[in-house]
A = this chain, B = another copy of it.
Amino acid sequence: MKIAVKKSILSANDRVAGENRARLDAAGVLAVNLMASPGAGKTSVILATAERLPVEVRPGVIEGDLASRIDADRVAGRGIPVVQINTGGGCHLDAPMVRSALAQLPLDAMEVLFIENVGNLICPAEFDLGAHLAVVIASAPEGHDKPYKYPGMFARADAVVLNKADLLDVFAFDLDDFRRGVALVNRKAPIFVLSCRTADGLGVWMDWMLDRQRDAAARGEQR
């Protein structure tokens, strides 16, 4: 019974996720679902990326949190269109929440949408939001064993960002072991080692993301 209910919830979610994706495709917007532990630096990656975008690539943001407007206020402070979703205790975003947020965003004046999921390295991986890319952000202070302990999240990622990399030495972070852990469950996802504080490594991540953004823009033009 438990399984049957879960299955019907997931298939309802997938239907709305498909609608979200079609809507984003029609607008030529690339949507990126950013998932991470609490405090890994999701908002920092979004802001560091947004401020380095070419002028013709305009960002928008959906912020997901159980409570508070802290992250949305940070984003809005940079003049970026943003919608805050409060899940009221829920441990992940779902497609209907994103649908509601899309209705409040100027999709025609955006080329890339960053969706910051709830800080949780487990549950968000199971819910398709209608985004084009799933990006997992790990961080040096969390330790290099995370891919071994949370394989489901890393298995589903299109890319892995390792943030706070200026502190790898401080935390005796074993980068080779981290890479091996990711490769165990995911042989295709690139790993971008970067620091939002020093900006080291941001360029390689931006190039990869902007390649996908151009694909999304082309999809929009074909409509």
State the A residues within 8 Å of B (CB).
1-2, 5, 9, 37-39, 65-68, 70, 89, 91, 118-123, 139, 141-143, 145-146, 148-152, 164, 167, 170
Contacts and interface: CB of A to CB of B under 8 A. Distances in A.
Contact of A122 (B66, B145, B167): B66
Given A68-B149, A141-B164, 18 more contacts: A5-B5, A37-B38, A38-B121, A38-B150, A39-B139, A39-B142, A65-B149, A66-B122, A67-B150, A70-B145, A91-B120, A91-B122, A91-B123, A118-B122, A119-B121, A120-B121, A141-B142, A167-B170
Contacts of A66: 122, 149-152
24 contacts: A5-B5, A37-B37, A37-B39, A38-B150, A39-B139, A39-B141, A39-B146, A65-B149, A66-B122, A66-B151, A67-B148, A67-B149, A67-B150, A68-B145, A68-B148, A68-B149, A70-B149, A89-B122, A91-B91, A91-B122, A91-B123, A119-B149, A167-B170, A170-B170
Contacts of A89: 122, 152
Copies per assembly: 2
Residue of A118, A139, A150, A170 with most chain B CB atoms under a 10 A cut-off: A150
A9 B118 CA distance: 24
Contacts of A139: 39, 141
Nearest to A123: B91
Nearest to A148: B68
A141 B164 CA distance: 9
Contacts of A119: 37, 121, 149-150
Contact of A151 (B5, B67, B151): B67
Nearest to A2: B5
Contact of A38 (B68, B149, B167): B149
B70 A38 contact: no
A141 B139 CA distance: 9
